[in-house]
Amino acid sequence: MNTYVAICTVCGRRQAFFFRPYSGEKLCRTCFTRSIEEKVRATIARYQMLKFDDRIAMAVSGGKDSVSLLHVLAKMERKYPKVSLVAVTVDEGIKGYRDEALKIAAENCKKLGITQHIVSFKKLYGFTLDEIVKSQKKKGKSGLTPCAYCGVLRRKALNTAAKKVKADKLATAHTLDDEIQTILLNIFHGDVTRIAREKPITDEAHPKLVQKIKPFCEIPEKETALYAYVKKIKFQNTPCPYASEALRNDIRVMLNHMEERHAGIKFTIFKSIEKIRPALEETVKNERLRECNECGEPSAEKICRTCQMLKQLS
């Protein structure tokens, strides 16, 4: 963030507080927050993420990205009376971390008058993430990281919650940074299916799968944090005790370094994959989802990843 005195290049009146290197704009607080809201609106329109009467389940964890998006969507919802917004929160069961986030998420929902629906790993699967980590340690198993369990179990929990609140769309607050980190991770792992399918709006791949939308996919992470800060939105700042995705962190550092030297490179990567994706989609178009033999939920294999994990845990 640059703090030198300059006049906002958008309104030409107020004092700028932020320089956006990739666009050359110097922005005042009002024009900055407006630009984020307008960008989100443009992203939603470009990818046709919403219909005028959609019911949106917004995944709110309590972190800066999700609470910021909740505020942006709540503001938009007021202009579209037929759209309804409900928050869904997953309690993974991480002591000393998720409890605080849950409180912050609930406070934000209350402030905005949004109903919040909470699902927990314990209720859905019988274990908290803490219990899973402890039991794996006890068994001397070190194959999967806590994040690997958390990611798979949370994805299903969010879909379950979205269905429960009868949502048409599940909105997540993945930012531009999250998106391109994931793309690079998937390239490193050679995961063609994921690159093809993890789009700003997912396909209607199965009736039991709520379509996911990512309205923040064109907003850099730094700007979602700044939005929360300018709007005085309360969010959880402490990192998860299990946050250890070493490779993702290395990719984040590399991309931030590249962005400093080549402003706009993150957008370039995002746009490049948009160009490449149609060719990848061709190669996976015959991979149909079936229903898991155990839980009946959509799955690429006979038994879904969640059920495979839970079997191995019990």
Residue for token digits 């700003």?
Answer: 200
Angle at CA 224, nearest 5°, toward 223 and 230?
A: 80
- Binding of residue 90 to ligand SF4 (CB under 6 A): no
Measured between alpha carbons, how far is 31 from 143 in angstroms, rounded to an integer? 48
With beta carbons less than 8 A apart as the criterion, state whether 37 and 223 touch: no
Sequence-separated (6 or more) residues with CB below 8 Å from residue 58: 66, 69, 70, 73, 85, 86, 87, 88, 114, 171, 173
- Toward ligand SF4, which CB reaches closer, 147 or 313? 147
- Binding of residue 101 to ligand SF4 (CB under 6 A): no
Count CA atoms within 13 Å of residue 4 on its CB side: 3
| Residue 146 binding result from ligand SF4, Zn ion, none, given CB thresholds of 5 to 8 Å by partner type | ligand SF4
Burial of residue 167 (number of CB atoms within 10 Å: 0-12, 13-18, 19+): buried
With beta carbons less than 8 A apart as the criterion, state whether 62 and 91 touch: no
Site for Zn ion in 30-59 (CB under 5 A): 31
- Binding of residue 313 to ligand SF4 (CB under 6 A): no
The closest alpha carbon to 157, from 264, 1, 312, 310, belongs to 310
- Toward ligand SF4, which CB reaches closer, 144 or 300? 144
Site for ligand SF4 in 114-153 (CB under 6 A): 146-147, 150-151
- Binding of residue 7 to Zn ion (CB under 5 A): no
- Toward ligand SF4, which CB reaches closer, 35 or 186? 186
- Toward ligand SF4, which CB reaches closer, 58 or 240? 240
Size of the site for ligand SF4 (CB under 6 A): 8
- Residue from 28, 70, 255, 309 touching Zn ion (CB under 5 A): that is 28
- Residue from 60, 217, 292, 309 touching Zn ion (CB under 5 A): that is 292
- Residue from 240, 255, 292, 310 touching ligand SF4 (CB under 6 A): that is 240
Q: Which residues of the chain form contacts with ligand SF4 (CB under 6 A)? A: 92, 146-147, 150-151, 240, 242-243
